[in-house]
Protein backbone atom coordinates (compact mmCIF):
# COMPACT_ATOMS: atom_id res chain seq x y z
CA UNK A 1 0.00 0.00 0.00
CA UNK A 2 1.35 3.45 -0.80
CA UNK A 3 2.29 5.45 2.27
CA UNK A 4 -0.74 7.74 2.43
CA UNK A 5 -3.13 4.80 1.88
CA UNK A 6 -1.60 2.96 4.84
CA UNK A 7 -1.99 5.95 7.17
CA UNK A 8 -4.93 5.83 9.58
CA UNK A 9 -5.36 9.37 10.91
CA UNK A 10 -8.21 10.71 13.05
CA UNK A 11 -10.81 12.60 11.02
CA UNK A 12 -12.21 15.69 12.71
CA UNK A 13 -15.46 17.42 11.77
CA UNK A 14 -17.58 20.14 13.33
CA UNK A 15 -19.65 17.81 15.52
CA UNK A 16 -18.25 14.33 14.81
CA UNK A 17 -14.76 12.91 15.18
CA UNK A 18 -13.54 9.58 13.87
CA UNK A 19 -10.74 8.18 16.02
CA UNK A 20 -8.71 5.14 15.00
CA UNK A 21 -10.25 2.28 16.97
CA UNK A 22 -8.32 1.00 20.01
CA UNK A 23 -9.02 -1.26 22.98
CA UNK A 24 -9.77 1.88 25.02
CA UNK A 25 -12.97 2.34 22.96
CA UNK A 26 -14.48 -1.03 23.97
CA UNK A 27 -16.47 0.29 26.99
CA UNK A 28 -17.85 3.16 24.90
CA UNK A 29 -18.83 0.76 22.13
CA UNK A 30 -20.64 -1.43 24.65
CA UNK A 31 -22.58 1.59 25.92
CA UNK A 32 -23.39 2.65 22.34
CA UNK A 33 -24.75 -0.82 21.49
CA UNK A 34 -28.03 0.06 23.21
CA UNK A 35 -30.24 -2.23 21.07
CA UNK A 36 -27.92 -5.00 19.86
CA UNK A 37 -30.53 -7.17 18.17
CA UNK A 38 -31.56 -4.31 15.88
CA UNK A 39 -28.20 -2.54 15.53
CA UNK A 40 -26.38 -5.74 14.55
CA UNK A 41 -29.25 -7.44 12.70
CA UNK A 42 -27.36 -7.32 9.38
CA UNK A 43 -23.87 -7.73 10.80
CA UNK A 44 -21.68 -10.72 11.57
CA UNK A 45 -20.52 -8.91 14.70
CA UNK A 46 -22.63 -8.25 17.77
CA UNK A 47 -21.89 -6.43 21.03
CA UNK A 48 -23.95 -7.47 24.06
CA UNK A 49 -21.34 -7.63 26.81
CA UNK A 50 -17.76 -6.50 27.60
CA UNK A 51 -16.22 -9.66 26.10
CA UNK A 52 -17.99 -9.11 22.77
CA UNK A 53 -16.99 -5.42 22.78
CA UNK A 54 -13.34 -6.39 23.27
CA UNK A 55 -13.63 -9.09 20.60
CA UNK A 56 -15.18 -6.58 18.16
CA UNK A 57 -12.25 -4.20 18.66
CA UNK A 58 -9.62 -6.95 18.45
CA UNK A 59 -11.11 -8.39 15.25
CA UNK A 60 -11.36 -4.96 13.60
CA UNK A 61 -7.89 -3.80 14.60
CA UNK A 62 -6.21 -7.10 13.68
CA UNK A 63 -7.73 -7.17 10.18
CA UNK A 64 -4.94 -6.08 7.79
CA UNK A 65 -7.49 -5.02 5.15
CA UNK A 66 -9.37 -2.67 7.46
CA UNK A 67 -8.94 0.78 9.01
CA UNK A 68 -11.57 0.88 11.80
CA UNK A 69 -12.78 4.02 13.54
CA UNK A 70 -14.71 4.84 16.69
CA UNK A 71 -17.41 7.41 15.93
CA UNK A 72 -17.35 10.17 18.57
CA UNK A 73 -20.21 12.64 19.03
CA UNK A 74 -18.32 15.83 19.89
CA UNK A 75 -21.47 17.35 21.46
CA UNK A 76 -21.32 14.72 24.24
CA UNK A 77 -17.81 13.27 23.90
CA UNK A 78 -19.36 9.80 23.77
CA UNK A 79 -18.48 6.90 21.51
CA UNK A 80 -21.67 6.36 19.49
CA UNK A 81 -20.63 3.64 17.06
CA UNK A 82 -18.01 2.48 14.61
CA UNK A 83 -17.21 2.62 10.89
CA UNK A 84 -14.31 1.52 8.71
CA UNK A 85 -12.46 1.72 5.48
CA UNK A 86 -11.75 -1.77 4.16
CA UNK A 87 -10.66 -3.55 0.99
CA UNK A 88 -8.30 -0.67 0.23
CA UNK A 89 -6.77 -1.03 -3.24
CA UNK A 90 -4.38 1.88 -3.82
CA UNK A 91 -3.19 0.44 -7.12
CA UNK A 92 -6.76 0.85 -8.42
CA UNK A 93 -7.47 3.92 -6.24
CA UNK A 94 -10.56 2.35 -4.70
CA UNK A 95 -11.78 1.42 -1.24
CA UNK A 96 -14.89 0.30 0.58
CA UNK A 97 -16.69 1.99 3.48
CA UNK A 98 -18.59 -0.23 5.85
CA UNK A 99 -18.81 -2.17 9.11
CA UNK A 100 -20.84 0.88 10.15
CA UNK A 101 -23.21 0.86 13.09
CA UNK A 102 -24.55 3.59 15.36
CA UNK A 103 -26.31 3.83 18.70
CA UNK A 104 -30.07 4.25 18.40
CA UNK A 105 -29.65 7.61 20.17
CA UNK A 106 -27.90 9.12 17.13
CA UNK A 107 -29.50 7.27 14.23
CA UNK A 108 -31.12 9.64 11.72
CA UNK A 109 -29.17 12.60 13.12
CA UNK A 110 -26.18 14.60 11.91
CA UNK A 111 -23.78 11.88 13.10
CA UNK A 112 -23.95 9.47 10.16
CA UNK A 113 -24.08 12.32 7.63
CA UNK A 114 -20.96 13.97 9.00
CA UNK A 115 -19.13 10.66 9.47
CA UNK A 116 -19.76 9.77 5.81
CA UNK A 117 -18.68 13.27 4.75
CA UNK A 118 -15.39 12.89 6.66
CA UNK A 119 -14.70 9.45 5.16
CA UNK A 120 -15.56 10.53 1.62
CA UNK A 121 -13.61 13.78 1.91
CA UNK A 122 -10.48 11.83 2.87
CA UNK A 123 -11.09 9.15 0.21
CA UNK A 124 -11.64 11.51 -2.71
CA UNK A 125 -9.45 14.35 -1.43
CA UNK A 126 -6.37 13.09 0.42
CA UNK A 127 -6.25 9.60 -1.11
CA UNK A 128 -7.41 10.70 -4.57
CA UNK A 129 -9.61 7.62 -4.85
CA UNK A 130 -11.57 7.26 -8.06
CA UNK A 131 -14.12 4.83 -6.62
CA UNK A 132 -15.72 4.15 -3.22
CA UNK A 133 -17.92 1.11 -2.65
CA UNK A 134 -20.44 -0.01 -0.05
CA UNK A 135 -21.80 -3.54 0.51
CA UNK A 136 -25.04 -4.22 2.33
CA UNK A 137 -27.42 -7.14 2.76
CA UNK A 138 -30.05 -7.23 0.01
CA UNK A 139 -32.75 -7.15 2.71
CA UNK A 140 -31.30 -4.18 4.63
CA UNK A 141 -33.62 -1.59 3.10
CA UNK A 142 -32.70 1.08 5.64
CA UNK A 143 -29.04 0.93 4.63
CA UNK A 144 -29.88 0.76 0.94
CA UNK A 145 -32.14 3.81 1.20
CA UNK A 146 -29.46 5.73 3.13
CA UNK A 147 -26.85 4.94 0.47
CA UNK A 148 -29.18 6.13 -2.28
CA UNK A 149 -29.81 9.40 -0.37
CA UNK A 150 -26.05 9.79 -0.06
CA UNK A 151 -25.76 9.77 -3.85
CA UNK A 152 -24.30 6.27 -4.20
CA UNK A 153 -25.41 4.24 -7.21
CA UNK A 154 -26.80 0.73 -6.89
CA UNK A 155 -24.74 -1.38 -9.30
CA UNK A 156 -26.30 -4.77 -8.74
CA UNK A 157 -26.36 -7.85 -6.54
CA UNK A 158 -23.46 -10.10 -5.59
CA UNK A 159 -25.05 -13.52 -5.13
CA UNK A 160 -23.81 -15.76 -2.31
CA UNK A 161 -21.28 -13.04 -1.50
CA UNK A 162 -20.87 -13.49 2.25
CA UNK A 163 -21.94 -15.75 5.07
CA UNK A 164 -24.39 -14.37 7.60
CA UNK A 165 -23.94 -14.95 11.33
CA UNK A 166 -26.57 -17.73 11.17
CA UNK A 167 -24.61 -19.53 8.42
CA UNK A 168 -26.96 -18.65 5.56
CA UNK A 169 -25.62 -17.06 2.39
CA UNK A 170 -26.10 -13.35 1.91
CA UNK A 171 -26.74 -11.66 -1.41
CA UNK A 172 -24.99 -8.31 -1.20
CA UNK A 173 -26.29 -5.09 -2.73
CA UNK A 174 -23.30 -3.28 -4.26
CA UNK A 175 -23.29 0.53 -4.26
CA UNK A 176 -20.59 2.88 -5.49
CA UNK A 177 -19.61 6.50 -5.97
CA UNK A 178 -16.92 7.77 -8.33
CA UNK A 179 -14.75 10.83 -8.16
CA UNK A 180 -16.89 12.38 -10.91
CA UNK A 181 -19.99 12.05 -8.71
CA UNK A 182 -18.32 13.21 -5.49
CA UNK A 183 -18.63 17.01 -5.98
CA UNK A 184 -22.44 16.87 -6.24
CA UNK A 185 -22.67 14.39 -3.36
CA UNK A 186 -20.45 16.64 -1.21
CA UNK A 187 -22.77 19.61 -1.84
CA UNK A 188 -25.81 17.50 -0.81
CA UNK A 189 -24.11 16.22 2.36
CA UNK A 190 -22.92 19.69 3.37
CA UNK A 191 -26.42 21.10 2.78
CA UNK A 192 -27.94 18.36 4.98
CA UNK A 193 -25.49 19.20 7.75
CA UNK A 194 -26.29 22.91 7.52
CA UNK A 195 -30.05 22.42 7.93
* Model pLDDT for residues 129-175, shown as the tens digit of each residue: 999 999 999 999 999 999 998 899 999 999 999 999 888 999 999 99
Predicted local distance difference test score (pLDDT) of residue 165: 87
Considering its fold, how many domains does the chain have in total? 1
- pLDDT, one tens digit per residue, over 100-136 is 999 999 998 999 999 999 999 999 999 999 999 999 9
- The 3 state secondary structure assigned to 111-146 is HHHHHHHHHHHHHHHHCCCCEEEEEEECCCHHHHHH
DSSP E strands: which ranges in 54-93? 66-73, 78-89
Residue 2 confidence class, pLDDT cut points 50, 70, 90: low
The mean pLDDT value of the chain amounts to 95
Overall pTM > 0.85? yes
Estimate to the nearest angstrom the gap between the alpha carbon of 101 and the chain centroid: 7
Range of the domain at 135: 3-193
Neighbouring CB atoms inside 10 A of 68's CB total: 24
- In the predicted structure, residue 1 carries a pLDDT above the cut 60: no
CATH of the domain at 9: 3.40.630.30
Amino acid sequence: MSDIWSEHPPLDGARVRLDPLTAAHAPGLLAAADDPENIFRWSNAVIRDPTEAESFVRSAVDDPDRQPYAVIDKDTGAVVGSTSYYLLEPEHRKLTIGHTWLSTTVQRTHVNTEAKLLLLRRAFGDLRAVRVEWHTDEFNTRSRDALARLGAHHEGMLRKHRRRRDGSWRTTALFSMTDDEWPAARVRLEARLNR
